[in-house]
Amino acid sequence: MLQSKELNGDGSKVGQAHSAGRPALELRNLVTRFPGDDGAFNVVDGVSLSVSPGETLAVVGESGSGKTMTFLSAIGLVPRPGKVVEGEILLDGTDLLTLSEEDMRAVRGTRLSMVFQDPLTGLNPVFTIGDQIAGVLHAHRKLSRTEAREIAIELLEKVHIPDPHRRIDDYPHQLSGGMRQRVLIAMAISLEPQVLIADEPTTALDVTVQAQVLELLAELREQSGMAIVLITHDLGLVARYADRVAVMYAGRVAETGDAEAIFERTAHPYTVSLFRSVPSLETDTASDLLEIEGQPPDPAALPTGCAFEPRCYLGRGRQDCQATRPALRAIGQSSHRAACLHSSELITEGTVE
């Protein structure tokens, strides 16, 4: 059974079996706010999401949709002067917003870890990769230099770095982009977190290496039972690796549900538009692709009604869409939900194969 590390009242950790049926990570009505010239505005606006042990949740949307900021909020790394002002962040039942900064630092890496999208900037160029992995281990465990090095070699082997006994003394510039990303993953899993957040982990890699990195994450999830949050704009990766999907727009969840439901019974015009803008085997020419008109809205100046209405092929110009900002509502009998007043009008058979 997956072992979690609950916090005692003093912030120390004790081993405890993961609570059956409880999400590994759950966000409830999360709001993250920044000050602005015309008043404060929300970049994460009432987001509720969860991911269970052994599950991959894909979070999808254009740049600026709030994907990354949502999970920077979850791990307590919102850039100043931003601040989480409402909601709960429950890690196996513990609300992280109630922890001190010292306790939050203890959680970060040990129970909740994040891999960022640029493997070159994520590593310090003046230290060997072995020293950097050992640094993570030293920060949370009392290990000798020899013990830390042995564990670092094991981690490199686990993420399929060839010849780890030699590579451990390499500097980041001596590794390919794919290998650097694997080193970051090794660092992220070094303390056996319950939840791994991967923020666009394959953006800077070629297609072949992308597949290798995603297969590695899937393998690690299978071995450890950890939950994975995959932040991405690549719907191909979503189709192959995700169990559930959350589509974000303007700091809110526009649609969420099982991956099969999102692909086969798409219930939000924004999700449909994302699918139609991606080439597939059925796409004859570039002219067959449909561009989403306009730009994502400024979070400091959102429309009164639905934030997607000005760009929406279904709702643009409709008075109800302009006046009402829709909440997520159930689609059918499943956990599939969409924030659209006109979901029933959508017919999206076989949007993505």
Residue with tokens 């990570």: 25
What are the pLDDT tens digits along the chain (353 aa)? 223 333 333 333 333 334 557 899 999 999 999 999 989 999 999 999 999 999 999 999 999 999 999 999 999 999 999 999 999 999 988 999 999 999 999 898 899 999 987 777 789 999 999 999 999 998 888 888 899 999 999 999 999 999 999 999 999 999 998 899 999 999 999 999 999 999 998 877 788 888 888 999 999 999 999 999 999 988 888 999 999 999 999 999 999 999 999 999 999 999 999 998 876 655 555 555 677 888 999 999 999 999 999 999 999 999 999 999 999 999 987 899 999 999 988 854 444 44
- pTM of the predicted model as reported, rounded to 2 decimal places: 0.88
> Helices (H) and strands (E) in the chain — how many of each?
11, 14
Q: How many residues does the chain have?
A: 353
User: What whole-number distance in Å separates Cα of residue 275 and Cα of residue 279?
Assistant: 8
**C-beta neighbour count of 149 within 10 angstroms:** 19
**C-beta neighbour count of 243 within 10 angstroms:** 17
Helix axes 177-189, 145-158, angle to 10 degrees: 120
Asked if 113 and 191 count as a contact pair (C-beta separation under 8 A), the reply is yes
Count how many Cα atoms sit within 13 Å of the Cα of residue 329 in the half-sphere of its side chain: 10
User: What whole-number distance in Å separates Cα of residue 183 and Cα of residue 127?
Assistant: 13
- Please give the DSSP secondary-structure letter assigned to residue 34: E
Q: Where are the domains of the chain?
A: 22-242, 252-345
- DSSP string across 64-124: TSSHHHHHHHHTT-PPTT-EEEEEEEEETTEEGGGS-HHHHHHHBTTTEEEE-S-TTTTS-
Domain boundaries 22-242, CATH class: alpha beta
- Please give the DSSP secondary-structure letter assigned to residue 285: S
